[in-house]
Amino acid sequence: MKEAVMKASAIPASGLGQKRKKLICKLLWYVLVCLLAVIFIIPVYWMVLMSFKPLSEMYVVPIPWFPRPPFQISNYIEAWQNYPFPTYFKNTITVVLLTTVGNVFSATLTAYGFARIKFPGRNVLFVILISSMMLPFQVKTIPLFQMYKLAGWLDTLLPLIVPAFFAAATPFYVFLMRQFFLSIPEDLSAAARIDGCGSFRIFRSIFLPLTKPAIVTVCLFSFMDNWNDFFLPLIFINSNENKTLSLGLAGMTGQYVSEWHIIMAASVITVLPCVIVFLFAQKYFVEGIAVSGLKG
């Protein structure tokens, strides 16, 4: 009898110990995540703080980590008026919108073909397409430069926009959309074919409405990549009237003197659209990434 009582009392104790271990592990994990978040947020916080300060505050030791007057809104006004930021914004928005449309259009059609249309050599072509992701872009820079030079596209926005309408330029988006298409049951396509629908009608009426999270994910990736792209504009664009935000921002640093408080304000202006877009689209972004990885 005494042994039975001891066993009964021992079970809750062991269960309580396991709960404590889980609680401690979860607490340590939350502390680690918060610590990493603080480490990543510190540079952004410092950038925003210095964008409201005069240039003299940039070199104060110790660093003033907490806001204190005076605050200068004039830094943003100077960044917008003294530099051709409206032109940079116009060029960047043009590139981002057109490349996003091109990436979604080409990636969805190509991915649907690889996922649902059976043709000879389909898997081989898909492997070749995905293998192109392993090739560094710098290797292709000189051939592309020569090709765009012959076409008369240098110092225009065309080298930044046109490749987006060809899926071979963005194989990752094709891979992402293909994984999502493979997660859709085959029965839907079979039922639509019985009703007399062709491949394009099935794609337009069935697959596209179901792939909203994946399309939003592609849009978000395309927006971020092209909004922050620096390498391609640096190679193909020379004139100030065709520069994008990232290239124009880099041009604000002088050889001898740099107005860092103005550059910090311009950096906040440049980063803010990315933050806003991600906050509004993060629900679909996470859902698209999760579902796209369910089936290979």
Q: What is the pLDDT of residue 102?
A: 93
**pLDDT (tens digit per residue) in 23-40:** 888 899 999 999 998 998
CA distance 210 to 136: 33
- Residue 296 has a pLDDT of 44
pLDDT of res. 12: 56
Per-residue pLDDT of the chain (296 residues; tens, 9 = 90+): 445 444 445 445 566 678 888 888 889 999 999 999 899 888 888 888 888 888 777 777 777 777 777 777 888 888 888 888 889 989 999 999 999 999 999 999 898 888 888 888 888 988 888 888 888 888 888 888 999 999 999 999 999 999 999 887 788 899 888 888 888 888 877 888 887 777 788 888 888 888 888 888 888 889 988 998 899 999 999 888 899 998 888 888 765 567 888 888 888 888 888 888 888 877 766 665 555 544 44
Q: Which of 124, 117, 284 is nearest to 216 (CA)?
A: 284
* Residue 1: CB atoms within 10 Å: 5
Peptide bond into 62 cis (omega under 30): yes
Distance CA 185, CA 16 (A): 44
Can you tell me the distance from the alpha carbon of 32 to that of 35, in angstroms, rounded to the nearest whole number? 5
What per-residue confidence (pLDDT) applies to 93?
Answer: 93
Which H or E element spans position 248? Answer: helix 245-250
Domain boundaries, the chain: 2-50, 80-292
Give the 3-state secondary structure of residue 229.
coil
Q: What are the structure tokens assigned to 96, written together?
A: 């981002």
In angstroms, the CA 202 to CA 193 distance is: 8
pLDDT tens sequence across 38-48: 998 888 888 88
Return d(Cα 277, Cα 176) in angstroms, integer: 20
Topology classification of domain 80-292: MetI-like fold (1.10.3720)
DSSP designation for 59: G
Rounded Cα–Cα distance for residues 272 and 252 (Å): 18
Residue type, 83: Y
As a residue count, the chain comes to 296
Closest among 102, 101, 103, 129 to 115, alpha carbons compared: 129
Q: Is 237 exposed, middle or buried (0-12, 13-18, 19+ CB in 10 A)?
A: buried
Furthest C-alpha separation in the chain: 95
